Amino acid sequence: MFKRTMMALAASAVAIAMTGGIAAAQQTLKIGASAPKTGPLAGGAAVTHWPSLQLWIHDVNARGGLNVGGKKLKVELVEYDDKTNPEEAVKNIQRLITVDKVDFLAAPYSTGINLATAPIIAKSGYPHVATSAATENMAEFAKRWPNSFWILGSSTEYAEGVVQALQTAQKAGLIGKRIAVVNVADAFGLELAAAGKPALKKAGFEIVYEASYPLGAQDLAPVISQAKAAKPDAFVAFSYPGDTFALTEQAQIQDLEVGVFYVGVGAAFPAFAGRFKDAATGIMGIGGINMSSKENLDFRRRLKEVTKVEPDYWGSAVVYSGHQILEQAIERAGTTDRAAVIAAIRKTPAKTVIGEIDLSTNVNSKNWTVGQWQDGAFHGVAAKGFDGAKAPIRKPAWKK
């Protein structure tokens, strides 16, 4: 009897070793990721999304893995390209959940794609820590999808940040009240424009030109020429990376001289300063960081060392913080049970590279909203919940 039992156990051990089944599953934690590697938003994701995810996995595995109930589990990544296409993203998420059977998901990239995939993520019961979605309806979405957590803040908060920066510039005598406002016709741009225009008018600014253009638009010269004809004191664009670069290039070519030139996602990219060099000085954009934060500066150094990618001055740290939130919740819960992890995210604030994040209401209330290129770095000049904002400067004349 003893001999037969030992033979059975040996056979089982061989079977497990051959299949890599139970033993392998107990040693790793699968993280699924779907985000752009191609399409209009691939450039932005290559800067802020993928490198931060890569660094987080490196950091976790370098520590021996996540401590889940006393057992260290290393992280294994399963990743797909959503091609900047919401339908493709939904398919990818479905595959990650049903075929790859990942333990947890990294949030998708961009407002529109996060909103498109939120229902299936919620239906499947996965924590959804959205780090690249700025939406006006966060509180509503948090109630509709209790598994979802919104890190970036609302469209109104970012719009109010722009108004705050413009008011500071106006009080300093840097600009007048005439504003040109344009936006990309994506969920991100539409929501910010909808929140921003009334906020500007309420603050006493006059909108002398406004326009909307499609995501991926190739020729934005007419937008700048028409804005210039309106003779604004400031130019505000709620834009994504491709159009952020294109609008800035056209403004430089056409000599759109304004005291404040603000563009959206992409202004905080190192490549932005690399492309426009000294002409980037004084340009404002969404985001920013506190350049005196030791945690943030250490994160920036490590990201470049590990991934060979220069971090941006906003989204890179936010995305990494989202992974820290998930990591700490898994370890506090002591289990891979997703409902327990969701509860742990809500219960205890997380310590991240951008500061302590409290998600007891599923919505983060602290964010840098506007940054500006000064002295070779993109400093925060407006924020909600953070101290250390620098005073804005007037944008110098374009340098060519």
Does residue 14 have a pLDDT over 50? no
**Given this model, what pLDDT does residue 188 score?**
86
Q: What is the pTM of this model?
A: 0.82
| Start-end of CATH 3.40.50.2300 domains in the chain | 2-154+293-367, 155-290+369-384
The model's confidence at residue 130, banded by pLDDT at 50, 70 and 90, is very high
Is the per-residue pLDDT at 11 higher than 60?
no
Q: Which of 10-14, 38-42, 251-255, 274-278 shows the lowest mean pLDDT across its residues?
A: 10-14
pLDDT at 12 over 70: no
Rounded mean pLDDT, 236-242: 94
* CA dist list (Å): 28 to 57, 92, 127, 339: 12, 21, 18, 19
**pLDDT category of residue 8 using cuts at 50, 70 and 90:** very low
Rounded to whole angstroms, the Cα distance separating 244 from 262 reads 9
* Per-residue pLDDT at 19: 35
- CATH code of the domain occupying 2-154+293-367: 3.40.50.2300
Alpha-carbon distance of 246 to 179, in angstroms, equals 19
Q: Is 71 exposed, middle or buried (0-12, 13-18, 19+ CB in 10 A)?
A: exposed
The pLDDT value given to residue 7: 37
* pLDDT at res. 387: 84
Count of alpha carbons within 13 angstroms of residue 195, beta-carbon side? 21
Average pLDDT over residues 145-173: 93
- Indicate if the pLDDT at residue 20 is higher than 90: no
Instruction: List % helix, strand, coil for the chain (3-state, nearest 5).
Output: 45, 20, 35
pLDDT band at 400 (very low <50, low <70, confident <90, very high): low
Query: What is the token pair recorded at 100?
Result: 């790859």
The neighbour count for residue 362, using CB atoms within 10 Å, is 21
Kindly tell me if the per-residue pLDDT of 223 is higher than 50: yes
Query: Which CATH fold topology does 155-290+369-384 show?
Result: Rossmann fold (3.40.50)
Q: What is the DSSP secondary structure assignment for residue 279, as one 8-state letter?
A: G
| 54-78: pLDDT as tens digits | 999 999 999 999 999 999 999 999 9
Average pLDDT over the chain, rounded to whole?
91
Quickly state the pLDDT bin for 216 (edges 50, 70, 90): confident
Per-residue pLDDT tens over the stretch 110-121: 989 999 999 999
**How large a percentage of the chain has pLDDT more than 90?**
82
Kindly indicate the confidence band of residue 167, based on its pLDDT and cuts at 50, 70 and 90.
very high
Q: What is the DSSP letter of 34?
A: E
Task: For residue 9, name the pLDDT band (cuts at 50, 70, 90).
Answer: very low
Q: What is the pLDDT of residues 179-191, one digit of tens each?
A: 999 999 988 899 9
User: Alpha helix locations (H) across 203-335?
Assistant: 221-229, 241-253, 270-276, 294-307, 315-333
Does the structure show a pLDDT above 50 at 18?
no
pLDDT confidence of residue 22: 35
CA-angle at 289, arms to 244 and 136, nearest 5°: 65
Q: How far is CA 193 from CA 82, 101, 158, 162, 301, in A?
A: 26, 39, 10, 11, 35
Q: pLDDT band at residue 278, thresholds of 50, 70 and 90?
A: very high
Distance of CA 315 to the CA centre of its chain: 4
Provide the percentage of residues in the chain whose pLDDT is more than 70.
93
Write out pLDDT tens, residues 340-354: 999 999 999 999 999
